[in-house]
Amino acid sequence: MFASLSVDWLRIGTLVPITPSKVRGDPEHDARVLNVCRRIADAAGFAVDVRDLLRQTVSTAPFYEVDRMSVADLARLHEIDTSVELPAPTEIALVDDVLTAGTHFKAAQAVLHARYPAAKIFGLFWARRVFPNPLENLDDT
């Protein structure tokens, strides 16, 4: 499941889930991305730095239901969870289940870069829904 992740990177990097649209404590808060990060750590068999480092301060409607906010507006709704900010990470993989327009990624990257300007920050995305290939299993007749 996680074969594309480098074991060497997992030993030095930090996995950070991108925040869902609902704040922690909201009954609709979705912790699936954090849980996937924890499963990656469990599967590694050694200590992997997984931190719920970003906190959204206001619940929003999911982007698929409303017009998207700008990166700057979305970034303003985020803060660093100071209870887990140290030690400062040197390499951060922002993890999310899908990349659509990149707004959440760029907002999270901006907030983290402001706090950790020397850290390398990149995205790790996976598809949670795979559509069938319409060309598969076509009858050649």
Task: Dump pLDDT digits (tens) for 60-70.
Answer: 877 666 677 88
Task: Dump pLDDT digits (tens) for 87-124.
Answer: 999 999 999 887 677 788 999 999 999 999 999 999 98
CATH of domain 7-125: 3.40.50
Distance between CA atoms of residues 132 and 13, nearest Å: 34
Distance between CA atoms of residues 55 and 132, nearest Å: 35
Say what the pLDDT of residue 132 is: 74
What are the structure tokens assigned to 99, written together? 């990349």
Average confidence score pLDDT of the chain: 86
Average pLDDT over every residue of 16-25 = 89
Instruction: Name the pLDDT band for 138 (thresholds 50, 70, 90).
Output: low
Burial class (CB in 10 A: 0-12, 13-18, 19+), 126: middle
Quick check: 133 pLDDT over 90?
A: no
Quick check: 1 pLDDT over 50?
A: no
